[in-house]
Amino acid sequence: MSKKIALITGANKGIGFETAKQLGQKGITVIVTARNAANGNAAVTDLQKEGVDAEFLQLDVTNAADIQHTFDYINNKYGKLDILVNNAGIQVEDGDWGTNTAATVTAEALHKTFETNFFSVVLLTNKLLPLLKKSDAGRIVNLSSILGSQALHSNPNSPIYASKLFAYDASKTALNAYTIHLAAALAGTSVKVNSAHPGWVKTDLGSDAAPMEVVDGAKTSVALALLDADGPSGKYIHAGQELPW
């Protein structure tokens, strides 16, 4: 099959939906995943109205059975996967983005955040790796955040220094570590993996205070999903620029 196949987690709204739309407009078949079937099917209907070749697959990224079903579905229908965008993510801590929760974070918040933002990404990606390796140009995009940067968090002059929701930030730091390690493991293959910082975007997570529109927030993910053979792997990117780990 020559047509590219992309799977995007948490794609029923926000940056995930817009990423699906932009990839679909480039002729890529998009598998939209979400926990809620009604929301996912509604998103696919909207994408199809835009001329996108989209389909829905129910996936709770924290559910092992769903992850196995996702592999079986793609393997049986397409036999390969060209693009995986690990977009699904949560933020559960109390307080606004200027709050420091390092001394108050609960075990529940840590476990819940890491389960979705880190553990599920590793388990889903590793499960789908055999399918990505069958692609001529497998691309993995891990939706991180500038808030995962240790270099910037430790610099009092950085723009994110005051924003320290510990569970969320640490989950993105861990995700960045996975990107680095996985890129090294895949060196010499056709698969590239990178972390993407979409920017501060007007989404449910980013709030209306964010300066960026969703259409622009998806552009980094789309660019990394479509990297050519000379493109980077194991990098931390926003709008074409490399961020410090």
pLDDT given for residue 195 in this prediction: 98
Provide, rounded to the nearest whole percent, the portion of the chain with pLDDT above 90.
87
pLDDT tens digit string along 6-41? 999 999 998 999 999 999 999 999 999 999 999 999
Question: What CA–CA distance (Å, rounded) separates 147 from 170?
Answer: 8
* Mean pLDDT value of segment 66-80: 98
Residue type at 9?
A: T
Helix (H) or strand (E) holding 179: helix 166-185
Report the pLDDT averaged over residues 154-165: 94
Which pLDDT value is given to residue 145? Answer: 94
Say whether pLDDT at 207 is over 90: no
pLDDT of residue 204: 54
Active site residues: 168
CB of 120 within 8 A of CB of 62?
A: yes
- CA-CA distance, 40 to 244, in Å (whole number)? 35
pLDDT of 245 strictly over 90? yes
Q: Strand 236-238 and strand 241-242: pairing?
A: antiparallel
Residue 206's pLDDT is 47
If you average pLDDT over every residue of the chain, what do you get?
93
Provide mean pLDDT across the span 200-211: 52
Which residue range forms the structural domain that includes residue 130?
5-242
**Count of domains observed in the chain:** 1
Can you give the CATH number for the domain in which 62 is found?
3.40.50.720
Q: How confident is the model at residue 216 (pLDDT cuts 50, 70, 90)?
A: confident
CB 204 within 8 A of CB 10: no
pLDDT of residue 1: 58
Contacts of 130 (CB under 8 A, 6+ apart): none
Which pair of structure tokens corresponds to residue 141?
């995009």
Q: Is the pLDDT of residue 213 over 80?
A: no
**Strand locations in 137-212, DSSP E?**
139-143, 192-196
Measure the CA–CA gap between 113 and 44, rounded to whole angstroms: 27
Average pLDDT over residues 74-97: 94
Q: Shortest CA distance to 179 belongs to which of 131, 232, 220? A: 232
Measured CA to CA, the distance from residue 213 to residue 201 in angstroms comes to 6
Report how far apart the first and last C-alpha atoms of the chain are (Å, whole number).
37
Q: What pLDDT does residue 209 have?
A: 53
